[in-house]
Structure 1
C-alpha cells in the first residue's frame, strides 16, 4: 500500500484548526485540503483563521470540487454536523482512503462506516488538548494527541502502520492502540464526566482538578459509564479511572472543554451524545444513572433559556 501523501480535513473547529495548522507546515501546499462550503471559505479567507496568534495558511476546497481521493480523511466536525459532513467528503474517499473521526462519543465511526465501509475506518480519540476557540482564533498550551486503532483488540494492522509512519514523518503526536475500544470508552467516560460537569458549573478545568462538589459529581458520572462499559463488553476499572483523572490533572486549569464554550456562546451542546447516550444505555441494561440524568436535565435547562435570551 502506498504511503500517505494527501490529507483532507472537514470541520474547522478547535481540533480542525489545531491539526490543520500543524500539518500545513509539514506538507507540500495543496496536499492538505480543508473541505468547507463556499460561504465559509469566503469568510475564512477574508477574516483569516488564527492558531496561537499566527494566521493559518490553509488550502480550501468546496465539497463539489472534483479532487483525487485523500489517502487520509479526518473528521473534526461537531456531532450535529456529521451527516452533512459525510455527504460533503464524497469526492475525497477512494478505495485506499483511511478515515479517522476525532468526534466525541462512541458512535461516529459506525455512522461514517455505514456510508463508506468499516474497512476504511480506524477508531480514534483525540485527547490531552486544551484548545480554546473564540471566533476565528484558537489558543492552546497542550496539543494533545490522536490515538487510533482497529476495533478488534491485539491488531496492529497495515492501516495503523500507514498512519503511524505518516504521523512520525509529520512530527504529529499520536499513539497506535491495540486495545482501542477500551480507549474509546475511556475517553467517553472522561467526556461524560468533565465536559458536562464543567458546563453545569460554568467554570474551567481548575474547578474539577481540586477537591469539592464539582470533582465529586464528575467522578460519579464517570462511574456510571464504568458500569455500562462492563455490559457493553469493554470493561473499565479503577485503574482506567485513575489514568483518565491523571489526563484531567495535566490540563491547563484555565482551559475549558468545548461544551462550556458552547454554553458561553449560547450554542446547543453535545449533551445528547454524552448523558443522552448514558441514559439510553442505562435503560437498555437496567443500570441506574442518576448523576447523568441530573446533568442532562441541568444542561437542557440552561439551553432552554437561549431562545428567550436571544
Structure 2
C-alpha cells in the first residue's frame, strides 16, 4: 500500500519502518524540522529481541506532498489530532482510508470529518516503542494491533492483513470500541494517577491506597462505557494492570513524562474525556474527575511551584 505516517515520533517511526520493511511505500510527515532532518539523514533503526533492522526514510511536511495515499495513519498526541488531519486533507482521495491508533477517545470522530465514517478505522496497540536516541527505536516482536471501524462492521480486513504481513500482528475487530474503551480505562487509571503523584507504575502497584484508587477509576470508566453500550471486560483490564505492576515497575507513564518535561498532557482525551462523557450521561465519576482536575492544576503551575508540588 501507499501509506502516510502523520506524526513521526517513536510509535510513528516503529509502524512506518515495519510497514516499509514489508514492501509498502511509506512517507513520513512531521512538523518539527529537527525530526525531519534527523530521520532524513539517519533513517530509522529498529532494535528488538531478534536484532536490528534499518530503513532509509522519506520524510517531509504534509503541505509538500501532492499525491493521494491509500492509507493515512495518525500518530500525533491527542491534542494535535485535528490539526494533523487537516494537514493531510488534500492527500485524501475517494478511496483513502484513515486510521488512528492514538490513546483516548474522540479521535475516530475527528478523522471521520475528513475521511468519512465508512473509510475511518480506529484501534489500539500494545507494541512498545522506546526512543533510545534520534532514529533508533527499541521495540519487541510480541505486540498486537486490534483495529476496525466504529461505523462499518466489516471494515479493516485489508489493512489488518497488511499490518500482519509487516509483523505487526493485527486483528480485525468487529466491535472495536471494546478494546478502545479497555485501553482508555487502563490509561485513565495509570496515566492520570501517575501524572498527579509522580509515581512510576511500580510505585502505584506497591501502594495499597493507590491501587484502591485505580480500582475506583476502573469501576467509574466501566459505568460510563456501559452507558455508551460498550461492554468492556473489567477482568481483562485488571489483568493488564496487574501485569504492568509486576513487569513494568520502573516505567513512567507518558502523562508523567509530559508533566516532567513541561509539555501539555493528553488528560483531556483520556480520563478527562471519560469524565466529560459521564457528566453528559448523568453518571458521576468523582475520583477520576478529581484526578483530572489535579492533573490540569499541576501542569498549569509555574515550574518552581510544580517542583514543590511534586
TM-score relative to the length of structure 2? 0.84
Is residue 2:258 matched to residue 1:259?
Answer: no
Alignment correspondent of 2:83: 84
The corresponding residue for 2:109 is 110
1:41-120 to structure 2, matched below 5 A, reads 41-42=36-37, 44-45=39-40, 51-52=46-47, 57-120=56-119
What pairs up with 1:1-310 in 2 under 5 angstroms? 5-27=1-23, 31-37=25-31, 39-40=33-34, 41-42=36-37, 44-45=39-40, 51-52=46-47, 57-126=56-125, 128-133=126-131, 136=134, 138-140=137-139, 144-151=143-150, 155=153, 157=154, 159-210=155-206, 212-245=208-241, 248=244, 252-306=248-302
Asked if structure 2 preserves the Cα contact closer than 8 Å seen for 1:130 and 1:143, the reply is no
User: SS of the residue aligned with 1:64?
Assistant: helix
Which is worse superposed, 193-202 or 232-241? Answer: 232-241
Unpaired stretches in structure 1, ≥5 consecutive residues: none
Question: What CA distance in whole angstroms lies between the structure 2 residues aligned with 1:21 and 1:161?
Answer: 21
Distance in 2 separating the partners of 1:195 and 1:233: 24
CA-CA distance at 1:292 after TM superposition: 1.1
8 Å CA contact 2:97, 2:119 repeated in 1:
yes
Q: 1:166 to 1:45 in 2, by over 3 A?
A: closer
Normalised to the residue count of structure 1, the TM-score between the two structures is 0.84
3-state DSSP class of the match of 2:230? Answer: coil
Please give the alpha-carbon distance, in whole angstroms, between the structure 2 residues aligned to 1:81 and 1:237. Answer: 30
Change (3 A) 1:38 1:272: closer
- Structure 2: unaligned runs, 5 residues or longer: none
1:193 Cα deviation after fit? 0.8
CA distance in 1, matches of 2:44, 2:127: 19
SS of corresponding position for 1:218: helix
Q: Deviations over 1:155-197 (max 9, x none)?
A: 3x2x422112212322222222122112211111111111111
Residues 99-141 of structure 1 show CA distances to partners (whole Å, capped at 9, x for unaligned) of 1101111200001101221111112122x23434477354445
* Residues 258-305 of structure 1, C-alpha deviations (whole Å, 9 max, x = no match): 112201211110111123223322322222212112211321232122
1:169–1:302 CA distance, 2 compared to 1 (3 A): same
Per the alignment, do residues 285 and 164 of structure 1 end up closer, same or farther by CA in structure 2, a change over 3 Å counting? closer
Whose strand proportion is higher, 1 or 2? 2
Deviations 1:25-75 (A, max 9, x none): 2226xx111012473423544677665498763211321234432222110
Aligned 8 A contact 1:130 1:251 in 2: no
Q: Would the alpha carbon gap of residues 17 and 215 (structure 1) be closer, same or farther in structure 2, given more than 3 Å must change?
A: farther
Q: Deviations over 1:222-243 (max 9, x none)?
A: 2111111111111335334335
1:13: Cα distance to partner? 2.1
How many residues of Structure 1 are paired with residues of Structure 2 in the alignment? 300
1:22: Cα distance to partner? Answer: 2.1
